[in-house]
Amino acid sequence: MTERSLVLVKPDAFARGLTGEVLRRIEGKGYTLVALKVLTPERDLLAQHYAEHEGKGFYGELLDFMSSGPVTAIVIEGVRCIEGFRSLAGKTDPTAAAPGSIRGDFGRDWGNGPTENIVHGSDSPESAVREIGIWFPDLG
Ligand code: DAT
Ligand code: MG
């Protein structure tokens, strides 16, 4: 029943010092931290991570943004943590994300649409396994 999810604190949130706030919410919810690292992701890693979005209009700006500075990559664990973290994160568009959610409380549109939205969370068990393999290839 226990599953894992890949969470990213994106460059906008890292630069604003929100990594601790995101970790606080994950731990407050009761999920376990399995692995955590800070890195500025290379474009080829991001191309793997965002393969499902290749060819979309926002793909280039998404990779530009995500490679623009450090991120914190986190593996969390717990029963239904994939769904649970997506709920903590809120809707993709930070303008529409509900207050109380991470994106709703800390994200906004800076004039570039919804690309800068604070966090990533895996959207299914299959995505989580695939994404954890990309970001933490040494994790068993
Ligand atoms: P999520 O991150 O909520 O799973 P997604 O997988 O559909 O959303 O998209 C991945 C990221 O791409 C998202 O966090 C922000 C960006 N994005 C999505 N739709 C976009 C759009 N229409 N314009 C600009 N950026 C977008
Ligand atoms: Mg997604």
pLDDT, residue 1, reads 84
- Residue 53: inside a domain: no
Q: Containing domain of residue 23, as a range?
A: 2-39+71-135
Q: How many domains does the chain have?
A: 1
- Residue 57: inside a domain: no
Nearest-angstrom CA–CA distance, 111 and 116: 10
Which residue of 48, 82, 115 sits with most ligand 1 atoms within 8 Å of its CB, as the best mutation to test the pocket? 115
User: Tens of pLDDT along 90-108?
Assistant: 999 999 999 999 999 999 9
pLDDT, residue 140, reads 74
Q: What are phi and psi of 53, to 5 degrees?
A: -100, 0
pLDDT, residue 78, reads 98
Tell me, what CATH number does 89's domain have? 3.30.70.141
Nearest-angstrom CA–CA distance, 84 and 93: 18
Hey, which residues are catalytic here? 120
pLDDT, residue 97, reads 98
CA of residue 120 to ligand 2 center, whole Å: 7
Q: What is the mean pLDDT of each run of 10 residues along the chain (140 residues)?
A: 97 98 98 98 98 97 98 99 98 98 98 96 98 95
Q: Whose alpha carbon is nearest atom 9 of ligand 1?
A: 92
CA of residue 138 to ligand 2 center, whole Å: 23
Q: Over the range 20-45, which residues count as b (16 or more CB within 10 Å of their CB) and which as e?
A: ebbbebbeeeebeeebeeeeebeeee
- Residue 89: inside a domain: yes
